[in-house]
Amino acid sequence: MRFATFALILVFAIALVASASQTVDNAMPYKHPSGVTPPEGKFQGGDTIETCTMIAALPYYTTGTTAGYVHNYDEACPFAGSTSPDVVYCWVADFTGAVDIHTCESLYDTKIFVYENVYTPGAYYACNDDNSNCPGAVYRSWIEEMPVTAGNIYYIVIDGYGGDFGDYLFNMYEVEGPVICDPYACPPGAFLENEPTCYDTYVDATNIGCNGPPYIFQYPPFPTAICGESGNYDANTMRDMDWFEFTFTEPLDLEVCMCATFQGRIWILDGNAGCAGAYTLITDAGPPGYELCVEYTVQPGTYYVIFSIDGWIGVPCGAEYWGTVREAGITPVEDSTWGSIKSLYR
């Protein structure tokens, strides 16, 4: 009887300890769609996509380190050539909406990129290297308002810039979704880029900007809407980047938005020292069919705004987009059909 009682207590104690251990951190590994389970007791990301640590539910917060891991993956957003070690999480979306993913509180220069359903090098779903919105931190990563679809699998890779590595704090949570937009609906009265459609061996003589020489910009009025085209060419080794120059006489909160038929990227650069001294103030990328916006408080001076494809992802030349450059908080005008606007100039 005593033995039976002791055995019962022992079983109960073991169960209690096991239960407690699973509440320490919800980053405990779960069996994921590949059928592979990370090593028992691993409280952070898996070493590869095949051994990713499953995220059971949102909101999600955990800590970990990339020290001691190996370099498996890299994506350019916009910086390529990283050799940093990386770790991988995965999540099966249980809702359709949007999420934020960030490593703002981490202790090293991080980079995050995401694949949807499958891993294909150079074809990430979302990516961020540096996001100036991280409070009190520089060179940290924050993917904002990433659209997700219920039932799809998202592989989240925590990486570093260059060869940097270290301790990270990883946050992922649901947010209000980005605005769906029509990339074919050009705002009325927009500034029309009117650049020729790119092709293999194409040389941009319209708005090549600091990718010259020669350094050629376009100068839209402010505020403005801009309608243009982009694309990859020369076997996807080149991309058409559209550079626009603005000069401000007083400080303002500058908002730049983009709606594209492709995964697009926006840059705001300080151009006060010309191309020789130009540097990026903020950049971000977003998926097609969703409004992508960045904001930056500018001082009097000259600034460059760039609209482009996000990388070298095989977008055919002639892919359409529209963008707006205005003071933050200004209500946009009603849209017109892009085709009807273009027809006026044919």
Summarised one tens digit per residue, pLDDT across range 272-321 is: 999 999 999 998 888 899 899 999 999 999 999 999 998 888 899 999 99
Q: Say yes or no: 165 and 125 in one domain.
A: yes
Based on the domain organization, do 252 and 132 belong to the same domain?
A: no
Question: What are phi and psi for residue 41, nearest 5 degrees?
Answer: 85, 5
Residue 75 maps to which CATH number?
2.60.120.380
pLDDT number for residue 334: 41
Say yes or no: 325 and 251 in one domain.
yes
Domain of residue 121: give its range.
Answer: 26-175
Give the chain's domain count.
2
- 8 A C-beta contact, residue 240 and residue 230: yes
- Top pLDDT among 86 and 312 is at 86
Enumerate residues 6+ apart whose C-beta is below 8 A from 157: 49, 73, 75, 86, 87, 88, 112, 113, 114, 115
112 shares a domain with 42: yes
Q: Which of 175, 208, 227 is the last residue of a domain?
A: 175
Q: Are 61 and 266 in contact (CB under 8 A)?
A: no
Q: Flag whether 126 is in a domain.
A: yes
Q: Which pLDDT belongs to residue 284?
A: 86
Judged by average pLDDT, the poorest of 85-94, 135-144, 213-222, 329-338 is 329-338
Q: Are residues 189 and 87 in the same domain?
A: no
47 has a pLDDT exceeding 80: yes
In a domain, 215, yes or no: yes
CB 275 within 8 A of CB 265: no
Q: Average the pLDDT over 126-148 and give the result.
A: 88
Of 133, 157, 175, the one marking the end of a domain is: 175
- 219 and 115 co-located in one domain: no
Residue 152 lies in a domain: yes
Whether 8 is in a domain gets the answer no
- Same domain? For 147 and 203 the reply is no
Distance CA 230, CA 35 (A): 41
Q: Do 200 and 159 share a structural domain?
A: no
Q: Which of 145, 175, 205 is the last residue of a domain?
A: 175
Least confident piece of the model among 106-110, 296-300, 336-340: 336-340
In a domain, 16, yes or no: no
At residue 124's C-alpha, the angle toward residues 106 and 178, to 5°, is: 75
How do strand 167-175 and strand 60-65 relate by DSSP bridges? antiparallel
The residue among 171, 169, 173, 172 whose CA lies nearest residue 66 is 169
Q: Does 336 share its domain with 281?
A: yes
**Residue 7 belongs to a domain:** no
Shared domain for 75 and 192, answered yes or no, is no
| Calpha distance 267→261 (Å, rounded) | 18
Is 19 inside any structural domain?
no
Answer yes or no: is pLDDT of 30 > 60: no
